[in-house]
Amino acid sequence: MLSRAFGGYKSSFSADLSVQALRRAFGTLLQFDRNHQAHQLHGHPVSPDGFPQEHSRGVPSACMFEPTGTVCGSFDQKLATLRSIGDCVSEYELSVLLKKIPVPVCYVWCDPSPWMHITQGVSMTSNVNKMVKAGFEVKLLMADWFARMNPQITMKVGSDLSNIQTIGRYNIEVWKAIGMNLGGVEVVQLSDKISCKTDEYWSLAMDIARKSDLSRIKSWLRVYASKDPSRRCQGSIDPYMSREFSAAEIANPCLQSAGILLQKADVWLLNLDQRGGHILARQYCKHIERETIPIAFFNNVLPNLLEHPGFGGCNDTRWTIFMED
C-alpha cells in the first residue's frame, strides 16, 4: 500500500512484515498523539483498523498527515503538543524559552538517505507539523556534508555533493507526499552553511574536541555506534565495540556538535544518531559558560512495527520497513 501512496517508488529491500503489523504501527502512533495532545494535530486521523485508502475505495488521499493552523491555546496546550513529539532534553529550559521568545527557531537535522526508514518518514513528518503548529520557525537542515562521510551512501551514489543533494530532494518529496507542511518550513543545506562560515566552523569543531572528554565520547560510541542494531536500539553495549575507535569515529560527534552550535537555533529536532553530538554540544556550552544551551527533542522510533517486537533492529533490512516498500 505504501508503494501506491508514494507514486510507485520501488525498493531494493524486502520487508517480511504483514499488513496487520503495519496497521498496528499507525494505530499506535495516532493513539499516542491523542493521549498527549490537547487538540488534534491532523485534519484526517487514520483509524487503527486500516489505511486511508481503504476508506476511499482504494484511492490514496492527498496526504497522510494534513497540516492545520498553529495552536491557538494556552501555554500548557502548546507544551502538551511539544511533549508528544518525543524525549525532550531539559523541559524546564523549554518552558523558559516558550515564555521568553514568541517565535522560537527550530532546526531539524535530516540525514539524506536513499533508504528512508519509516520512522524517518512518518515520525519526522508528524513532529515537524507539530513544531509548525506550535508556532515555531522551522528549518530543515539537510546534512549533506555528513552524508559524504557515510560509506553506505557513497558506495551507492558516490561522494559528489550534487548527487547527495539529489537524494535530499527525493527525501523532501517523500515527506511532501505524506503531508509535511513544507509551506511552513525552510530547507537549508549544511554544506552551504559551512562554506559561508568555514573558519568559524572548524575553529568551533577543534575547540569542542579539545574541551571534550575522550572517555565520554567512546562510551557514547559503544552504545549508539554498535554494529548490532538490536543493541543500538536498546541502548546496550556491544562487546565488539570495546575495540579502539578510529580517529574518524571519534571526530564525528565533535563535528556534529559544531554543526549544531553553528546554527542560530533555539530548539533542535534530532534522531538518536545525533544524541552524542548534542550531548557534547551541551557539555561544551556549560564548559565555556555560554548563555544559550541547545534544547533538543528526539524522534521516537515507531512501536509495534514487527511481528516479533523483540527483534528491534532499526536499520536491519531483514525486518525493517522503508518508505518505498
150: domain CATH number? Answer: 3.40.50.620
Instruction: Look at the block and give the residue holding cell 528491534.
Output: 312
Query: Is 97 within the bounds of a domain?
Result: yes
Measure CA 291 to chain center.
26
The count of domains in the chain is 1
C-alpha cell at 37: 495532545
Query: Is 106 within the bounds of a domain?
Result: yes
Q: How many CA atoms lie within 13 A of 199 on its CB side?
A: 0
SS3 content of the chain, % helix, strand, coil (to 5): 50, 10, 40
Q: 183: Cβ–Cβ under 8 A, 6 or more apart, which residues?
A: none
Query: Is 28 within the bounds of a domain?
Result: no
- Residue-wise pLDDT for 27-48, tens only, equals 544 444 444 443 333 333 333 3
Query: Is 272 within the bounds of a domain?
Result: yes
Q: 17: Cβ–Cβ under 8 A, 6 or more apart, which residues?
A: 305, 306, 307, 319, 321
- Residue-wise pLDDT for 117-170, tens only, equals 877 888 889 999 999 989 899 999 999 988 887 777 888 888 888 899 999 999
Query: Is 16 within the bounds of a domain?
Result: no
- Find the domain containing 153 and state its range: 85-299
Instruction: Look at the block and give the residue holding cell 503495519.
Output: 22
- Round to whole Å and give the CA distance between 281 and 263: 12
At residue 114 the predicted structure's pLDDT band, cuts being 50, 70 and 90, is confident
| Nearest one of 176, 178, 239 to 2, comparing CA atoms | 178
C-alpha cell at 108: 531539524
Largest CA distance in the chain: 60
- Residue-wise pLDDT for 76-106, tens only, equals 888 888 888 888 888 888 999 989 998 999 9
Question: Mapping DSSP to helix (H, G, I), strand (E, B) and coil, where does residue 186 land?
Answer: strand
- Judged on CB neighbours under 10 Å (0-12, 13-18, 19+), 20 is exposed
